Structure 1
Amino acid sequence: MKSIFFKLYSGLICILLLAALLGYLALQLVNQIRYENYLVNNVGGTFSLMAAGIVRHDGDKQQQWIEIVERLTGIPLEVGPLKEPERFTLYHLKKDNQALLIASDPGQQTASIALPLPGNSQHFVQAKLEDINQTVTRMTALLILNELGRHPKQQREAILKQLDQNFSYDLTLVTAKETELDQSQLRQLARGDIVINLNDTLSSNPFIKVYARFGNSGLYLTVGPINIFQWYPVSIIFLLVISGALLVLAAGYILIAPFEKKLKRLEQGINLAGTSKANPIELSGNDGISRMADSVNAMMLRIEGLIKQQRQLTHDISHELRTPVARMMFRVEGMSIDCLDTQQPHISGMKKDLGNLNHMIDEILTCARLDDNPQPLDKEEFDLLPLVQSMVYDLTIQHPDITFHNGSNCERLILRADDALLLRAIQNLLNNACRHCQSHILTTIKVTEKYIHIRVEDDGSGIPEEERERIFDPFIRLDKSRNRALGGFGLGLPIVQKVTQHHGGHVYVEQSPSLGGASFIIDLPIALLSREQPVYKTDKKADKT
């Protein structure tokens, strides 16, 4: 069995590792897509201004302009042909469909940006961004101020509106009161510094606002709010955890399903042991369950052999007992002729005991014969009703103190069955009712849509519900003292069950609804009806559900 646990635990560990790896790769892929879309929306306008500024200058002035931007932003810039173009993914800005190339590295949380220079698609302004939030926003504010400074004061408001269309966030001019900054931040703005205001980094949607003094106008340029990129948002982590859990559950089911299937087949094989449907349990593989199935098969063979030996022993003993019992009965008959009148009661008792012994041997042999491999039934067509009525009439003579009641929903009931066995079963039920009733027995035979319904009821003490299955086992007597005054050997009801099963039906017991005692019901399949059987109105209520 150790191999099973090794397979399960090693498989579960592999599944967990695989789920973790897939979750990590999925997070990296999702972050790459999110990050690059974020860069397109928030960096495209900034690099457009940067490229326009580079193109406006020539020669040394261009280099000086680049150096100034590098010094103010802290971002190294490179102008020239694109290096390693295969690393980049092409995007287009919404406003003018200008190309923007991005090569992101979510693992390092960095990105390389390249934008072609206007009028020269072979040259690009390139930069590697690490602190995307504060670095880019600072650079954006400086480039906007530089762009506004190139135009006359009366045009700057219109230019700002044009620039606002290139960005996914707002560009506005506000007064000091509208900035909602404290005095220390306003003093920084007065000195010409750029103030970056970070708003609630613990919230679900944190953002940045950038403020810069707009010349001597008394106004301040406001850039934002700009949403901060979150590498591990709660929604995505939650989705990955749920997806990982579902993956683990699905993979775990696939891993455990073969073992569960084997256990189910093993259970079915064990439940069928000792029945006519029992077959060796065949399981593939060499794991613990397969080895257990082999052990169960060996055990079933041993049990089957023991049962056969026990049946054969019972059969042989019963046969061997018949001869001496017959001799004893013959000798007792001879003794009864010459014995004195005072000895006749003893002789009568001996005859009765020998008769009971002979009857018990007959029932044991009947049980043994029915327990053997099923033989074809000796089926004949016969009318059941007059035969049952004849049995009841004989019992009426034997038991004058008992009132018998009969009922049926048909005038004839022609069956094709083994009449000797079936009548033996009904006789056993009637004899059982005679032993346990007080004064009334009801016999009902009905044809329903599903069954031929034979019911024998009495007004005795009934059978406890917990004993209603055990009552059909051989040699079972519910009276704990095993008082033989009532007669019987505990084989009548087992014979009833075996005969019923041989005919494809079933027998069960419940409380009598009309007499209050025990009610034994034999349900035989409707297929036993002869073709010559007349069709009568059926009683659906008699069907057992």
Structure 2
Amino acid sequence: MNSIFLRIYGGMLAALVLVALLGFLTLHLVNQVRGDEYREGLARGTFRLMADNLQPMNRVERHRALLQWERLLGIPLDVQALDQQPLDSHARERLRRGQVLVIKDGHKPSLVYSLLSGPEALVLVGEVQQISEQLARATVYLLSDELVRYPVAEQPARLAQIKEGKQFGFELKLITLQEAQLDDDQRRRVDEGDTVMALGKGGESIHIFAGLLDTPWVLELGPLQLMNPAPPQLLVLIAALALSLIGLAVYLLVHQLERRLRGLEGAATRIAAGSLETRVPTRGADSVGRLAAAFNHMAGQLQHLLTIQREMVRAVSHELRTPVARLRFGLEMISDAQTDQARRKYMDGMDSDIQELDRLVDEMLTYSRLEQGEPALKFQRVDLDALLDQVLSEQAPLRPAIRLLCGTTPAAEPALVDGELRYLHRALQNLVSNAMRHAETRVRVSYSLQGEQCRVDVEDDGPGVPEADWERLFTPFLRLDDSRTRASGGHGLGLSIVRRIIYWHAGRALVGRSADLGGACFSLVWPRQQTQREATV
């Protein structure tokens, strides 16, 4: 048991380490995705604005514009064919849907792609080293250049149109210099046409302010949230906490499992010590609960088999006592016999006792084989008419005073059923022999084929069996206290053997009262077709 739990704990530990590694990698991947979304949000509006400005230009005008932007912004820019870009199909599809791509490869500059509208499938490509600062300068320059083309009064409305159409990832506003949250030095620089970057509250964002010349407006960009990826220490801490919580949960589950399994182990030990009534609680429908239910069923079966074995030992001891005593008496009388006729008489009696012992041993062995496991049944097609004729012809000479009747008229077609011929013969022989011992004058045997079922009835005109004793009549070594007493012969195993035989044929053995003869009616019912089963005794 301890080695089992050591293996369980080892497997759980390996699983926890794997979960921790997967959690660490998942958080790292989340950081990457957050970084890509952050960079794309910064670059989206600016590169869309540049791409839309380049669209109506011819090649020469585009080249001049790109050179001018490169000098002012410090960003290498180029217009290339989309098919020439080292992009996968998913990235190309995103560009065709109007999205802006930002591809970051280690410490190299970020590559930004934006598709120019039109039939030529051209893409604007830029290399951005410091994406927040360079894109901020580019945004200020492009917006300022765009807004100065409109009257002062129309500039706020035009800015709103640009923000909505280009889907900037941050706020764009035109405010007055007095409204800007800047100190005096910063206000002076903005008033002189400079661009000022101011940290927001908490230092986790920045605002960019740029004055528009010859206007009362100040262009405010932001807040631009800073990208703060989770540090490795935080990732390790989260992984450790997750590992601890999962480990605690697994420990509680395994501890409960261990406690329940140790209960099973203790119950098995008590059963092995002889306490056969021991059972374990069957809580829940999980694997341990099903195991406990199977354990209780096994314990019940074991108790039942041992009870049968003990009863059989007691019954056999009782059954052997009478013939052994008669044999001892016969041996003593032979030595005292004066004539050959007297010795012959005692020897015939001893021979009869030996035959009775032989029959008892045969019945015990047969019942033991049928009770302790599934016998090797080799089913074959059996002709019921031929089988009943054979059984009746064998039993008729044993009690000539009893009339054996066949209650079924043979049909034109043979009455064929599946069965193990040797065992079916034994079951019918036991039933007919039992009926002949208790019949007054008649015994009738009949059969019927009803759909997929076969039924054989053995009836007699004897005293019958009380209804209260019908079920326990098949108990091994049982004799009822009425007319079916020891004087009628038998050892009490015949009907038990019948029930086990028909059980292995997937059928039932029943007892009732004969409506025609008034005595007992024993019935065997089993399927006409059997599935072949092979098993060892």
Task: State the TM-score, normalizing by the size of structure 2.
Answer: 0.44
Task: State the TM-score, normalizing by the size of structure 1.
Answer: 0.44
